[in-house]
Amino acid sequence: MNLADVIRRNAAFAPGKVALRFEGGTISYGALSGRIEATAALLAGEFGIGKGDRVAILAYNHPDTLVLLYACARLGAMLVPLNWRLAGPELAYILADADPALFVADEHFAKEAAELAAGRSNLPLFSVGEAAGSLGELIASGGEGSSRCEGRLSDPLLVVYTSGTTGRPKGALLRQEALVWNGVMSQHMHGLTSDDHVLTVLPFFHVGGLNIQTTPALHQGATVTIHSRFAPDTTLAAIADDRPTLTVLVPATLGAVLSHPGFGSADLSSLRAITTGSTYVPQALIDPFERRGVPVLQVYGATETCPISVYTRLGGPRPEGSTGWPGPFCEAKLVDDAGRELPDGTSGEIWIRGPQILSGYWRDEAATRDSIVDGWFRTGDIASRDAAGAYYVHDRKKNVVISGGENIYPAEIERVLLEHEAVAECAVIGRPDPRWGEVPVAHVVLRAGASCTAESLSAHVLSQLARFKAPKDFIFADSLPKSALGKVQHHLLRERR
């Protein structure tokens, strides 16, 4: 059995039930299952894709991302969703590392995708949808193939790249069964049923957009409305007009919805809950929805945990500031630097164990050994636990900056800055920001006799990294605080903020 069988069986139960709504159109479970089967046959017959092969996609949210996900599940292949916010060199590195057999992109990224594909030998490139040059056109033209049902629930299905402390992205491998168990916990968290209607506005290249509600809803036989991108006005309009029961918003998008002039008069009555997470969520972002009668649930996890691990549950207690309790098939514990378990009321690194965590990192055994200890995933986050077992996440041991729901790793920016001829040393930290939660700030020591402006450094970073990763401020200094071992003490820089 594989994950595509879940959609096929939902189609058998209710073939005419609407599975997906997108840009005014609908796709029934019967049609979705048929599209998945046809796509799997095309991938296998036309491109020879089978067990262990990778398919990369660079696109705004689109039904074909989900079709490709389940087609890969049927074949035992893996989908590599690419973050369209990344810069060209970053995407090129990921493509080189993932080495996909097929590259799919939408029309918004046609130029970038063509340039990326040109840098890879014999990499077929197609678009989503039904237009010329799309997989849909190839299916409609009668492209035949044998859909070898080789996929199993134990096979890896997703390779989701997350930047690491080394400054290079790592591909987290998530098995098909990880999505099954993640879906079980989403059902437990939300009370999810086939009667629900999920509104998805977060990007599919994040496990939050893909797996907190979207794939769990499809596994339950519910309906999912997909927005290609988030916009506060279209989100509020969809809540009022389409009447969804559930949606996920990270703090930055929560804030954008709250700041919209139409929020006060918007009809939110269809919502059973809004789920949020990815970073600390200020109560000021939660209370306005609660006052409107919409419960706000919190979920804690990571790319490597698929992501659902610790959460508050609809109908259950929601302690202020807490991310909740481990799901029924998930364990969590707090440990000190030596890996010793800590009692309630003390802070330590939170470790997660369960069937939903990654099986490892793609082609990176060292990172896998470092991150998984006896089945426990080391999150790198600092948390505490109260006497009732509720967890409170306080800080990030790995120094990651979370800005608008995006993980930004200082080492990645530091690596690029050190390539500038005028930079001798640098350190990047996060600074609180009322809109984005945090923004990166760079402390820079110039080489002797060198001169450089903040504008020049910003341009250099933007030539290599995505705009959201560029430091919002450059602080020039004569030296950086260091430990006896010569390591920059980021915590001392944070104390200077």
Q: What is the pLDDT of residues 380-405, one digit of tens each?
A: 988 999 999 999 987 677 678 989 98
Tokens of 391: 């967890």
- The answer as to whether 324 is a domain residue is no
Q: What is the pLDDT of residue 166?
A: 56
What is the number of domains present in the chain?
A: 2
The verdict on 411 and 282 lying in the same domain is no
Domain end (from 262, 291, 320): 291
**pLDDT digits over 291-344, tens only?**
999 999 999 999 999 999 999 999 999 999 999 999 999 999 999 989 999 999
Least confident of 89-103, 158-172, 264-278, 349-363: 158-172
- The answer as to whether 356 is a domain residue is no
Q: What is the pLDDT of residue 359?
A: 98
**Residue 143 pLDDT > 70:** no
Tokens of 106: 């939408």
Q: CB burial class (10 A; 0-12, 13-18, 19+) of residue 240?
A: middle
Please give the torsion angle defined by the CA atoms of residues 184, 235, 206 and 333, in that order, rounded to the nearest 10 degrees: -50
- The answer as to whether 351 is a domain residue is no
437 with 285: CB under 8 angstroms?
no
- The answer as to whether 216 is a domain residue is yes
Instruction: Say if residue 295 is preceded by a cis peptide, omega within 30 of 0.
Output: no
Determine how many CB atoms are found less than 10 A away from the CB of residue 282: 14
Query: b/e map of 323-337 (b: 16 or more CB within 10 Å)?
Result: bbbbbeebebbbbee
- The answer as to whether 301 is a domain residue is no
289 with 296: CB under 8 angstroms?
yes
The CATH number linked to 420 is 3.30.300.30
Element (H, E) at 183: helix 176-190
The CATH number linked to 180 is 3.40.50.12780
Residue 201 — pLDDT band, cuts 50, 70, 90? very high
The verdict on 411 and 287 lying in the same domain is no
Which domain, by its residues, includes 491? 401-495
In sequence order, the 6+-apart residues with CB closer than 8 A to the CB of 230 are 201, 202, 253, 256
Q: What is the pLDDT of residue 417?
A: 94
58 with 82: CB under 8 angstroms?
yes
Residue 140 — pLDDT band, cuts 50, 70, 90? confident
Domain end (from 291, 326, 343): 291
- The answer as to whether 268 is a domain residue is yes
The verdict on 408 and 285 lying in the same domain is no
Over residues 67-88, mean pLDDT? 97
Mean pLDDT of the chain: 93
**pLDDT digits over 153-196, tens only?**
999 999 999 865 556 899 999 999 999 999 999 999 999 999 99
Q: What angle do CA 109, 3, 299 make, to 5 degrees?
A: 75
Q: What is the pLDDT of residue 485?
A: 47
CA distance 188 to 219: 13
The verdict on 264 and 406 lying in the same domain is no
- The answer as to whether 197 is a domain residue is yes
Least confident of 110-119, 226-235, 411-420: 411-420
CA distance 101 to 117: 11
Over residues 404-433, mean pLDDT? 90
- The answer as to whether 329 is a domain residue is no
Residue in this structure with the two tokens 């696109």, named with its chain if needed: 59
CA distance 23 to 210: 18
Domain end (from 266, 291, 316): 291
The verdict on 410 and 281 lying in the same domain is no
> Which parts of 260-319 fold into alpha helices (H)?
283-291
**Residue 42 pLDDT > 70:** yes
336 with 285: CB under 8 angstroms?
no
Q: What angle do CA 467, 472, 473 make, to 5 degrees?
A: 145
